[in-house]
Amino acid sequence: MASRLLKGHRFLRWVNERLPLEKAYKTHMSEYYAPRNFNFWYYFGILSMVVLFIQFVSGIWLTMQYTPDAEHAFDSIEYIMRDVSAGWFIRYMHEVGASFFFIVVYLHIFRGLLYGSYKEPRELLWLIGVAIYIVLMMEGFLGYMLPWGNMSYWGAKVVLSLIGAIPYIGESLQVWIQGDYQVSGVTLSRFFALHVTLIPILLIGLVFLHIIALHQVGSNNPEGIEIKLVKNKDGVPLDGIPFHPYYTVHDLIPIVVFLILFFGVIFYYPDGGGYFLEPPNFLPADNLSTPEHIAPVWYYTPFYAMLRAISFDFLGISAKFWGLVVMSGAIGLVAFLPWLDRSPAKSMRYKGWASRIMLALFTISFVTLGVLGAHPSDWMPFWMAPFFTLIYFAYFLGMPFYTSLENSKPVPQRISSGR
């Protein structure tokens, strides 16, 4: 099709001689052979890209009216919400978009765990994914501070005080990052600069690398079978179908369903019941009035619960620092999955019972920690946060043992399910 289009179009032919248009189209679309058995879990990569686009565009529009200084930030958000035409819509798109970004990315990561998509030869693709996740968390944190509401202010104070808990260098590092001895307008301006320039550039660059790495090794699938191992005489995988037109058309359905849900939430439930937009953030930042209960937005709460799970000083260093170590370890361990999993099978369909039970326990612990982190620490019995933190870590640290000891089923060479 690309060649036909080029034949009839002088300008495109001219560009193609100078930029590899046709080659890129073939490599990434019409001759990129994707497994024919993609299922529901394979929707969330493209949906992450849709949300990235929404955040990018709505962010540019918000930047046109937002004022990044402590005097005017809160009022400029009110101005966007009340006076700018369709300002409320653009702001809610960006705010609901942040939560939806994490929903689709968490489901996207879960698919990786379910089908062993991190295993060889996709280790680098996975590592780039982990980098995206970390950068996304930074972007969310910086963005949350910008409305300069009371939760923005106190949330930033709590997170930045964690840096201050690092022995020896912590306090100076915290002052260096804040740009002041306390969270102030200086902090706000620099967080704004990072939120709208460096971090989005990093994010887009990493997503680009993510796709290039994916297309280099090829997609995994629910069976965890490498389709590149069985090809016809033309070198086309027997269990593959061209990404375009098959998956481009196929992906339109989840995109439409997603957009209906997304706009439904924007129109009827934009604060997500206080989870997407927390009540104290409807009040301006006030350093004399601490919100009754400081909690981060829902997508950070599992890690916040882990932070609070450590309540004792150790080796003369504060509990806060050890909480930070546990929290960072919890995120860092995800990067090591390709080397922790020793199972000969990729997909849960062929792994043994131990892997299945551990994935179920991991999911339960992550969700429970999320609920615990969203509530005050005395809301549930004291043992719960440490207990579920231990389960979370057991999933990773026990993996080399339970994946090599369990009985997995032999993986077939060809895909049997799917259309």
Instruction: Please report, for residues 89, 184, 372, the alpha-carbon distance to residue 153 in angstroms, rounded to integers and kept in the order given.
Output: 24, 9, 22
Measured between alpha carbons, how far is 41 from 109 in angstroms, rounded to an integer?
A: 10
Please say which residue, 189 or 363, places its beta carbon nearer to ligand HEM.
Answer: 363
- Determine the Cα–Cα distance for residues 328 and 135; give it in Å rounded to an integer: 14
Q: Which stretch binds ligand HEM (CB under 6 A): 68-76, 122-130, 176-184, 325-333?
A: 122-130
CB of 130 vs ligand HEM, minimal distance in Å: 5
The distance of closest approach from Cβ of residue 300 to ligand HEM in the complex, given in angstroms and rounded to an integer, is: 15
- What track of x and - describes contact with ligand HEM for positions 295 through 324 (by CB under 6 A)? ------------------------------
Site for ligand HEM in 211-250 (CB under 6 A): 214, 219-220
Residue 220 · residue 117 · CB < 8 Å: yes
> Residue 55 CB, nearest distance to ligand HEM (Å)?
9
Q: Which residues contact 41 (CB under 8 A, 6 or more apart)?
A: 107, 110, 111, 114, 115, 222
Kind plus residue range of the DSSP H or E element containing 35: strand 33-35
**Total residues at interface with ligand HEM (CB under 6 A):** 26
Pick the binder of ligand HEM from 70, 90, 125, 202 (CB under 6 A). Answer: 125
- 175 part of the interface to ligand HEM, by CB under 6 A: no
Terminal-residue alpha carbon distance, the chain: 24
Taking CB under 6 A as the rule, does residue 49 contact ligand HEM? yes
Question: Interface with ligand HEM includes 115 (CB under 6 A)?
Answer: yes
Contact pick of 103, 109, 166, 309 for ligand HEM (by CB under 6 A): 109
130 counts as binding ligand HEM under rule CB under 6 A: yes
Residue 265 has which token pair? 């939430």
- Min dist CB 118 to ligand HEM, Å, is 6
Which strand (E) or helix (H) includes residue 357? helix 353-373
* Residue ranges in 194-251 assigned as alpha helix (H): 199-217, 248-250
66 binds ligand HEM (CB under 6 A): no
Segment lying near ligand HEM (by CB under 6 A), choices 14-22, 38-46, 262-270, 286-294: 38-46
How far is it, in rounded angstroms, from Cα 353 to Cα 76?
55
Contacts of 210 (CB under 8 A, 6+ apart): 125, 128, 129, 132
**Does 337 participate in binding ligand HEM (rule CB under 6 A)?**
no
Q: Which residues bind ligand HEM (CB under 6 A)?
A: 42, 44-46, 48-49, 52, 105, 108-109, 112, 115, 117-118, 122, 125-126, 129-130, 132-133, 207, 210, 214, 219-220
